Amino acid sequence: MLLVAACVQCVAEMATTNGSVNMSNSKLRKVECLVCQKVAYPPVMQCKNWHLVCNQCRPSLSLCPDPDCQEEINCATRSGVSEKFLEKYVVRCKYFKDDGKGCMEAWFKDDEECLAAHEEICILREVICLVPCCSQSVQLTKILEHFENVHFMTPNANSNIEYNVSEIIMQRKCIVNETCGDKTYKNIPSYLREGEDVFLTVFRISSLRQPIFELSTVVYPYYATSSPTVNHSCKITAANQEDSNAYYKWEGPMSQIFPLTPVLKVQDETAKLKWDVCIEIVRKS
């Protein structure tokens, strides 16, 4: 009956004078799985001594994980008290998945602001791949795998990348053709890494009218940390291989870059596309 007493005590501690619920996440420990130490979502299992185990961890156990208990876990039954408590007072991250592969974080229902803040930067959130002609929803932790296996991007652990435009065109590496209105684009997607954060870059070549081409760059962040966009800056340069005076640069905070909006545009009237382009992400100190 220890768990029943604990849950009753917890509810009593949470009640305020006006009858609303005001709780701290420390009280969620009363309904945590002893193995993974995450909130044990229904079905919640318990041994004969009321120790809780989540449904994902239970198959790997033969004995209760509590060192002072060691009851056979195959005799475990569902904990109705815990499940009712969770249903009434607790809300989980929207990126939770029943198979245990989603986010296991939980908040009390009156703490909506903390929940919303977490979901905005949740490491297991779903993000949209912005590679042209894709728009597939992918879990953030699998975005690099998606880039490399679906879009055949070269693995890159660096925070900068360089393009030799004419060489890319000749080799036809990783080019995504796209038509928008009367324009045809050749998109070369790649990614940069700065710590745990990933930045999708799309270098675009579009034919305005013969022999004029326009070169532009799109940068989009996929933040794996809580770092806001103002903590990173982006630097893009374009240098013509045959004309030293043809040099262009854009530099500024990521907060000034909008999704799918070209950052640096350069026009080439020779149709030779003899350009070296460099993109670099820098974390501000």
pLDDT value, residue 226 = 58
Distances (CA, A) of 279 to 108, 193, 237, 282: 43, 12, 7, 10
- Centre a 10 Å sphere on the Cβ of residue 50 and count the other Cβ atoms it contains: 17
pLDDT value, residue 143 = 92
Whether 149 and 157 have beta carbons less than 8 Å apart is answered as no
For the chain, which residues make up each domain, given as ranges?
Answer: 2-113, 156-283
pLDDT value, residue 249 = 92
Domain covering 2-113, topology: Herpes Virus-1 (3.30.40)
| Partners of residue 144 on adjacent β-strands | none
- Centre a 10 Å sphere on the Cβ of residue 272 and count the other Cβ atoms it contains: 14
- Centre a 10 Å sphere on the Cβ of residue 71 and count the other Cβ atoms it contains: 15
pLDDT value, residue 136 = 93
pLDDT value, residue 145 = 93
Query: In which residue ranges of the chain is pLDDT below 50?
Result: 1-24
Domain covering 156-283, topology: 2.60.210
pLDDT value, residue 184 = 77
pLDDT value, residue 280 = 92
